[in-house]
Chains A and B, each alone.
Chain A
Amino acid sequence: MAMDERTILRNELRWAAGVGAMVGVIFVAILFSSLALHRAPPSNIETVDPQTLHLAGEFTEANLGTHVTPDGQVTTRIVAAQFAFVPQCVVVPQGKPVTLRLSSPDVIHGILITGTNVNTMVVPGYVSQVRTVFAETGDLLMPCHEFCGLGHSEMTAHVMVVPQSSFRPDANGTASCASR
């Protein structure tokens, strides 16, 4: 035979080595982006009782939306429920770290923010936390992207990214779309 079994095996192994190198490059690039460039799946495990979410604690109505602590930490809290986000519009500053925290009192929802890598599931029983920096100003769309029932298609919110000069929280540290 022109080609014996060992030759075939050698060719296959050569190919496998090439394949290994190719997936190796991808693996290293992934490792680099997650460790050095802070691009990793949001994975902060924190539980909360969905049945009392609105009654007490972090996700009561007064706490929702964007708040800035005295030392400048920007946190935006949103509740996702069938079939609206509360609040439906949030304002965030451009170029500063923002922490988004979401939860659901009912079924599974999820969010993405267009043009960014912000993406997370919102699972009843858990607080979803995503940290990011918004590079561009604009009015971004934040739809619910996980099927949550018949009203799923209408469930959207807006994220207004404003220049830091326009981002003026009130005396309590609260910033909202209306009063910005």
Chain B
Amino acid sequence: MTAVSDSAPSQGDQPDGPALERALKTVPRGAMALSGAAVLLLLAAWLAIYLFVFLPRGPVG
């Protein structure tokens, strides 16, 4: 755990050493999960609008 205050803008953190090594063992599993979920949800929302709003409103062209 760093000792730097939570609310002060970070200037004193030293992003090096054992903490970084440990973190890099798991990264980017969390990012894949979060970004992946967000993007899949986005695709689902787009498909929902496509199928349930756009297509039923009839032809255009």
Contact = CB atoms under 8 A, between A and B. Distances in A.
A134 interface: yes
B9 interface: no
A39 interface: yes
A133 B58 contact: yes
A110 to B, nearest CB: 14
Interface stretch (A52-60, A77-85, A116-124): A116-124
A131 B61 contact: yes
B43 to A, nearest CB: 5
Interface string A1-36: 111000000010011001100100110010001100
A115 interface: yes
Interface centre among A39, A40, A130 (most CB of B within 10 A): A39
Given A2-B25, A3-B24, A22-B39, A42 B58 contact: no
A156 interface: no
Nearest to A114: B57
Contacts of B42: 22
Given A18-B39, A33-B50, A33-B55, A118 B60 contact: yes
Interface of B: 21-22, 24-25, 27-28, 32, 35-36, 39-40, 42-43, 46-47, 50, 54-61
17 contacts: A3-B24, A11-B32, A18-B39, A25-B47, A26-B43, A33-B50, A33-B54, A34-B61, A38-B60, A38-B61, A41-B60, A42-B60, A116-B57, A117-B54, A117-B58, A131-B60, A135-B58
Closest 9 CB pairs of A and B: A117-B60, A2-B24, A38-B59, A40-B61, A3-B24, A117-B57, A2-B25, A2-B21, A22-B43
Interface of A: 1-3, 11, 14-15, 18-19, 22, 25-26, 29, 33-34, 37-43, 115-119, 130-135
